[in-house]
A and B are shown apart, each in its own frame.
Chain A
Amino acid sequence: MRPNVTRFQLLRAGALLGVFVAAMSVGTPAPWAAPAGSAAALLAVPAVVDAPGDPTDVAGWVAYRTARDLPALPAQATVLYRMGVEADLKGESENAVRLWRGAEELDPGYLAPRLTLISHLLGRDPSQGLMEIGRLAGLARTSFRLQHFFTTYLLYYAFSALFLGTLAVALFLCWRYRTRLLHVYQEMLSRRLPAPRARFWAWILVALPFALGLGVAVPAAFTLALLWSYLRRSERAAFLALVGMLVLSPMATRLFDELSLPARPNAPPFYALVELDQQPFDSARLTRVSALAQQHPDNPFLAFSEGWLAQRGHRDEQAQAAYERAQRQWPQEARIPNNLGNIAFAEGNGSQAEIHYKRAIELAPRWAPAHYNLGQLYTARFRYAEASEEIAQATALDFDLVRGLQARSSGQSSPALAEEWLEPRTQWEAVFGENPAHPGAAVMPPAWQPWFESRGLAVAIWTLLLCALGIALGLILHHTLPARVCGNCAATVCRRCATRRRDQVLCEACAALLSTATTPEFGRLLLFKRRRETRRRLGQVRTVMAVVIPGFGVLAYDRLLVGWFVATCTALTVFLLLSGHAPFPYDPRVFAEAPRPLSGIVLAGLALTYFLSLFTYLSLHGRAREADASVDTSSGKARERLKRAA
């Protein structure tokens, strides 16, 4: 598999950013997952502990899990989480926190209680909340599944919000310039139709692209292409941004198809085995994985999975053979020699184990488990000085890991050894490597599936064709009959209908008003009154719209970038609040009534966006009024004259 490090690094960075975003769609418990850096106490002898009868007996369940050396107790964790939510709804906050922490301990990979704790503690005990965030970030650093989940969510919401924000700006521009198209269509149709009918059909022609069944974005792009001659530079940039998004949309859908690989049940390279490290040994599963590995000998992931499962079933020979097959294809993966070293150690072959551990350290000098295991080997062979040095190094690299392993080793006859599932980097490389074609249709987020814009290459072709046609048609229309605005009331006019007073172009209504004036001064006064009245009416409509729709007021004052930002933020928060769920959820979606963690923060974000929009609009509105007032004041003398004339 060809490594794709750059994309991997970007994605890993994105994964950490996605923690918050992902929280919004996780509202339900998880059944599996084990602690990062978990140690398998291969040689430990478990004490006999019975399962407690009370589901809320957190200490009992934790002792049960430890005694049975189970990676996780997902069902019990789910129940604890639910009980915690129910306790919180009853106002028993302390009990809720206890139950959530219990759920977290029973299933360390369970995201919902962690996010709920963060959401709960941030408002009450911020230091605890920040510590929870730190724990989650630590988990995300080592867990491919969590990284995959956060990355997918971040990309999903980022793409959706960016697209919807840009689309909102494009639709606003279509609405703002609609009268230009309407007027030109109407003038052309009025050669063959009476004016009211021409106006009716002009509306039909403007709305027609949106009725073709090509979604909303492609017709909006086509309409803006028709209006290209009238658009300002920033508005053209918005149009090009929309076209760019539509043309590049196949890449987004392809990206999600690639990101679906870990979740695909029958697709290489993972065959839905990325959760294997969180599951207890099952001989049927080992048989299935062995068969798959034999079927696909060139798939190192399957070889490693077989080795991992066989090692858990104490089938050392099979495990060793499988790991060696994996090592031939992944010679740079330090986990393989480490696990081979553990097998050799368990078999009593210390010198071979030492070779494997040293190989693992050579491949990943800053990876703590190999140092720890080598330290344990040296201890078993009475080489205490070297053992102390290795364990000190392991402690310096990962204190929690060493502390956890030593706690598990206490009272046992043999030390617990450290081993880890594949490094996230290796799995990311597998996601974006050259994978054979997989069965089934391309996968994309369910919320996107009904959108025409998610149809891949067809959308790009339609967009390019229609935009080229729109620009050509728009230029012809503009050349044939350019539309302008009335110099007084800003209504749309053209050379056929405009009345000219010196260089001032007036619409029919303004010209009719002017014709009633007996003197030029009185005419100017009438025009001024009409202009003021028109502006006042439009201002009222604009204010109402600005109050109702965040971003509208800012866009109306030509602050396109700020408007786009507000629209995107609004789309993001509304999408987070309203969308059912995003693709590839980390936890199973159970306990449907669970409140969404961090929804309060998202609501606060929405409110902040709304007030930012409103405040910016009011500020711009005030400035515009001041400018109008200063014009009035400067022309006070003239106004007096006009009043006298009136």
Chain B
Amino acid sequence: MAKKTFKGRPLLAGNLDGQALASTQPLNTTGSYLENLFAGRTDSAPCTDANNKAFYKKDLSGAIICTTTTVGSSLGGAALMGVGSLGVGPKALLFSEHVDSVSLAGVLMDDVWNERRVITIDQLGDEFLETVKSGDPISIHEDGTVVVG
């Protein structure tokens, strides 16, 4: 596939190459990690949010998550810290829309307090999600540039 470049806003910047896990629906930060948060699973993070058809049952551990934004309980930030501490948090969160304040609080707290970074870029635009598909190679740059393909 032809490479396509998108420019977003780097909130927690970094360089990373990998494969995308994409959904045009939002990531529910609390509802997606229930097996990890409540059953102590540490080998993987199968998405438990049945509302998100693209993510449901997919492994979110170490994933480069491409989505619109995040939704869910106001304890979603704590949930992201929780999965980070279990070693099954995402490696990157790439949002087509503006970041949601709950998830941002969680990744910032984990980044500053525990030096555990989840690269976070927002405002990549609708076309980003129209383009990227799960499994696509993706390259993230510290200036907020994301190359798909």
Co-assembled chains A and B: no
Q: Which residues of A contact B (CB under 8 A)?
A: none
Q: Which residues of B contact A (CB under 8 A)?
A: none
